[in-house]
Amino acid sequence: MEIVILVSLLSLYCDFTDAECLVISPARLVVKYGDPASAKCTFDQPKQMGWEATEGGTGLTDKEVKFLHWSVDSVTDWNNNPTCFTEAGQCQKQLDITVYKLPDSVSISYRKYPDPMVEKHHYQLQCLVQNIAPIERLRVTFYKVNTTGEQTELDTQQKSKDNIKTPENGAYTLDFTPSRDDDGAQLWCSAMLNLGPEGPQPPPVMESDRLNISVLYKPQITMSPGCFSKNITEGDTLSLNCSAKGNPAPSYDWLHPQSAPAPNTTEERSVVTITNMAKSHSGEYTCIARNPLGNSTCTVNVEVTGASCQAAGSAMVAVLLLQLIHWL
């Protein structure tokens, strides 16, 4: 008697426990909007079964069966929740279905267009993903590639899980502070729809067009070998090269001791040349590179010395030799 009662209780428990009564395969279904879809509902013993659904629904079967298929030629209902059930609703189980749609477009732009970017200023970029579902499965990544081809991942974002099934537009923003090294770089964003192992593999990715950026920055002098002290022999030629990087391209000015003659300069005035240097020309020679964003200076302390001891000694030996020849 106890065994019979136990079996009856187990049977009653089965009637109200989805996991024990019905099995749906696949356990999770991922289908693209407009594509066909199907699933199979199985019961451990013959029962009248049916599918309740806005698309592909069926009534109870006339006969008791152990399985029943659900299928549609084209999924067009975002909120369809196919549910398998047995007679009198003793058991029911809902199909875990995800209907997805790839975005119509992915684009990147400035929230407020700069004219153009300036080094160390703050800007906001926006990646717009249009008409995608489900948006909670979307992962957006911002990228930068510099002029040498080096690619950097700037940020990855994902919306909170709000269980919105219908297509939505997604706007994702990135705070960006450019440096001078970003001049000429490209920015873009990618949208990846990650639907899990049941979804398409690899997950589909759509990229925006690339945004070419120009960054303005003040000059930085790259004089070689640098701002330094320089010794030069009297009578030699002084040549100083004050190259600088800046955007816009910098202009140059030179400050030099008042006693020094007007130097010869290149057309852009980055190189200064003075011939036949004298001791009175010693002093500080300062290069100023400037553009509308600022300026940069570099000073070279030039000291003009007389002929070296070795040179003077050689000249003296030459004079003595000439006198010796004359005496002979």
What are 52-62's pLDDT values in tens digits? Answer: 999 999 989 99
- pLDDT at residue 326 in the model: 58
The helix (run of H) or strand (run of E) holding residue 89 is none
**8 Å CB contact between 70 and 56:** yes
- Which residue in 66, 93, 91 sits closest to 81, CA to CA? 93
Locus of tokens 């030699």? 236
- pLDDT at residue 114 in the model: 72
Tally of residues, the chain: 328
- pLDDT at residue 321 in the model: 55
- Which residue in 302, 297, 298, 296 sits closest to 284, CA to CA? 302
Q: How many of the other CB atoms lie within 10 Å of CB of 129? A: 26
Cβ-defined contacts of 4-10 (< 8 Å, 24+): none
From first to last of its 328 residues, the chain has per-residue pLDDT tens of 443 333 343 344 444 444 468 999 999 999 999 999 999 999 988 989 999 999 999 989 999 999 999 999 999 999 999 999 998 778 899 999 999 999 999 999 988 777 789 999 999 999 999 999 999 999 999 999 999 999 999 999 998 777 889 999 999 999 999 999 999 999 999 999 999 999 999 999 999 999 999 999 999 998 655 678 889 999 999 888 888 999 999 999 888 888 777 776 655 678 888 888 888 889 999 999 999 999 999 999 999 998 654 444 454 545 455 555 556 5
Distances (CA, A) of 244 to 180, 217, 297: 13, 12, 10
- pLDDT at residue 118 in the model: 95
The set of residues, in sequence order, having a beta carbon less than 8 Å from that of 176 and lying 6+ positions away, is 122, 123, 124, 125, 154, 187
SS3 (DSSP) at 75: coil
For the purposes of burial, counting CB atoms within 10 Å of the CB of 269, is it exposed (0-12), middle (13-18) or buried (19 or more)?
A: middle
